[in-house]
Chains A and B, each alone.
Chain A
């Protein structure tokens, strides 16, 4: 039997919640070191898909594999950066302590150095500051640092560029590119349908099912004929 291709493989993924279909027959593969955007309108199932890929949710049908192994056996290799709104930014905690929580998320061995993660995202000078003293973009980078502390090679980022100014967004996109160049596999959910999409190697368009898949140019071209493109613009 030939060895399983490396990377994250999603086959025929279905997910139902309260008898409602959230995802239907989603299938794709992410090669190691790639930077992929996952775009779609609100309620398209982007966050649900990320939670399924990380193994937090169980699919109704289909499978998720990492390097040929079921994802539930290698959850530690996949880190999920949650949406900014899920964090209590007024909690009394410093940036360094917050990033260090990634060790708890990954549980036990193999975790990366907190200072190294903060340096990587350019927050080492802010490590003693309280979280609520950071700007929106810096908070996203603190969240990314926490994700990087986990010993993962696949990073799932849920709307990291939401509600931040364009310079901060560009900084984050640059960081993501550095990470993918360093061998990390990144899947990034986004509402952004503008020129920022060109920063990605590949774009997946999701609206319950996968509607388009290709380079940013290919996807834009393909969606010219599909009305769903209008929804994504918001």
Chain B
């Protein structure tokens, strides 16, 4: 198999995967949670490496734990600025804990690759993870489509209707954590936010349904992933940061 096929496949899979979560989080007003989860995967990742467990499992659990801790610390009724402050504090705390655990546990973690990804070092397990993430997310989106729409358009009405919203939000946070861990190899935990948000914003503009928005966002995400990868080859630069820069370009195009 040619060396470029695996990175290209990962770029496509990650590009398709991230914007779906991004669109769901944007319409629920929970983008900050994605950023928190992305940074909160680090302690779990370090612990998993130290104890010989799959890093994806450790990272996902740790990201989910970060989201739950933040949710617990939020004061109901306070404004979104206060909520943002709490989330950012938890984000910094989990990130700091992850950085501290690496020397404390005496493990070797390539921090640069974790934060910014490296498509060119892709392994078959990364492809499996991204494929699994896409499948899991697709199943969740299909099975919970209408409750997700109801929750996004009218949170009060959705709560009044007796839908299991707590479970739905928890599942969304868990899947977001898994998506972030699955995309780590390609774009890293810092740049993944760009790939979640920029194509999602593009997809949401003018869409007449969440389904249509997600499909459009995924197509844009795949184009960004492949575009970043090809540019990286052409310019001899790292693909992850290039994808991040292209994301800003897409938001500028959308803004007109």
Contact = CB atoms under 8 A, between A and B. Distances in A.
Contact of B212 (A80, A88, A92, A104): A92
B78 to A, nearest CB: 14
Contact of A91 (B146, B152, B157, B206): B152
Interface in B126-185: 146-147, 149-150, 152-157, 160-163
Contacts of B152: 88, 91
Interface in A98-121: 98, 101, 104-107
A148 to B, nearest CB: 14
A107 B157 CA distance: 13
A101 B204 contact: no
B252 to A, nearest CB: 21
Interface residues of B, number: 23
A101 B153 contact: yes
**Interface residues of A, dominant DSSP:** mixed
B163 A93 contact: no
A82 B158 CA distance: 11
Given A91-B27, A92-B209, A128-B208, A101 B149 contact: yes
Contacts of A105: 150, 157, 160-161
B173 to A, nearest CB: 20
Contact of A82 (B154, B207, B209): B154
Given A107-B162, A128-B208, A93 B153 contact: yes
A101 B154 contact: yes
Contacts of B213: 92
B154 A86 contact: yes
Contact of A94 (B157, B162, B208): B208
A123 to B, nearest CB: 15
Interface in B196-249: 204, 206-210, 212-213
B147 A94 contact: no
A107 B161 contact: yes
A130 interface: yes
A104 B209 contact: no
Nearest to B163: A104
A130 B204 CA distance: 12
A82 B161 CA distance: 12
B157 A101 contact: yes
A88 B204 CA distance: 14
A97 B208 CA distance: 9
A88 B154 CA distance: 6
Closest 9 A/B residue pairs (Cβ): A105-B161, A92-B207, A91-B153, A86-B156, A92-B213, A56-B160, A101-B150, A94-B208, A87-B154
Interface of A: 51, 54, 56, 80, 82, 86-88, 91-94, 97-98, 101, 104-107, 128, 130-131
9 contacts: A54-B160, A80-B160, A86-B157, A87-B154, A91-B152, A92-B210, A92-B212, A93-B210, A131-B153
